[in-house]
Amino acid sequence: MEWIQQLVNGISLGSIYALIALGYTMVYGIIKLLNFAHGEVFMIGAFTGFYGITFLNLSFIPALILAMVVCSILGMLIERVAYRRLRRSTRIAALITAIGVSLFIQYVMIYFRGATPEAYPDIVPRQNIEFLGIKFNSQALFILLITIILMILLQYIVHRTKMGKAMRAVSLDMDAARLMGINVDNTISATFAIGSALAGAAGVIFGMYYTSIDPLMGLLPGIKAFVAAVLGGIGIIPGAMVGGFILGIVETGVSALGYSNWRDAAAFIILILILIFRPSGIFGKNTREKV
């Protein structure tokens, strides 16, 4: 019974990683960029939700939507200012720029509000729901429900809308998509907007789940989400979801076994193992590159 409860908690935690990992994998799938500033977008989402709840007196859903809108605008701004001119540059130049953008956002936030943590308001009540003799945390179930809705919405956008078709076309061949009349710049901006909106939602959910946020909070969840994306197959949307869930379940399982000090290390052990035995990830395919 206890393991079923831990499984639900692991899936809820994994859903946060999955939402962040989706931004990594969408951007990489289209322009082959590892956007390491994505964790800071997640942090901005958490603070946007916090200020929406405390100063604007918003309930959870309006605060979540506000965070998603703010983070989508931030994502497009980052792409326009920092990454667009580097699209034809080497990958290492784009990677260094992404790290620079990450540090810039962190320390701008610290400059304006300080580095002290904030206690997230307990806007969703924590209750235990008993079903068939098993107690479930209502907050964990609520997080899981919100995540599933957002992932279904993402799948609909990618597979059923004109913008989604443009994203898939650009990911396959950017030059061919441009010749077919697709506005590549707008498509890439939309990708950053959608991925950043999901990271913003993850930030609000994270704050509600862990009850504390700070300007440096995006670093570790951002790296873990990157591990989840690599585990599932970087550039593959279902892979990011599955990778996030697996990572969350593993971390919760490690803590349940009494090794909570090793829960962060578990993510990096998974990364090392996946790079050694299956670098393409669970859903990825090995491809040959011409040299």
**Domain locations in the chain as residue ranges:** 2-120+137-277
Which region among 3-7, 177-181, 199-203 has the lowest average model confidence (pLDDT)?
3-7
**pLDDT per residue as tens digits for the range 158-186:** 999 999 999 999 999 999 999 999 999 99
**pLDDT per residue as tens digits for the range 213-266:** 999 999 999 999 999 999 998 888 889 999 999 999 999 989 888 888 888 888
As a whole number of angstroms, the distance between CA 23 and CA 141 comes to 23
**pLDDT per residue as tens digits for the range 69-93:** 999 999 999 999 999 988 888 889 9
Given a cut of 60, whether residue 289 has pLDDT beyond it is no
Top pLDDT among 252 and 1 is at: 252
Q: Which tokens belong to 84?
A: 């667009």
Return the CATH number of 2-120+137-277, one of 3.30.43, 1.10.3470, 1.10.10, 1.10.490.
1.10.3470
As a whole number of angstroms, the distance between CA 250 and CA 144 comes to 17
The one-letter amino acid code at 245 reads F
pLDDT-based confidence at residue 291 (cuts at 50, 70, 90):
very low
Which residue pairs, CB below 8 angstroms and at least 24 apart, start in 84-92?
84/185, 84/188, 87/31, 91/32, 91/33
As a whole number of angstroms, the distance between CA 58 and CA 229 comes to 32
pLDDT of residue 210: 86
Cα end-to-end distance, the chain, whole Å: 54
Q: How would you class 6 by CB atoms within 10 Å of its CB: exposed for 0-12, middle for 13-18, buried for 19 or more?
A: middle
**pLDDT per residue as tens digits for the range 117-142:** 999 988 877 777 776 666 777 787 88
Given a cut of 90, whether residue 2 has pLDDT beyond it is no
Q: Which tokens belong to 14?
A: 């994994």
Average per-residue pLDDT in the chain?
A: 89
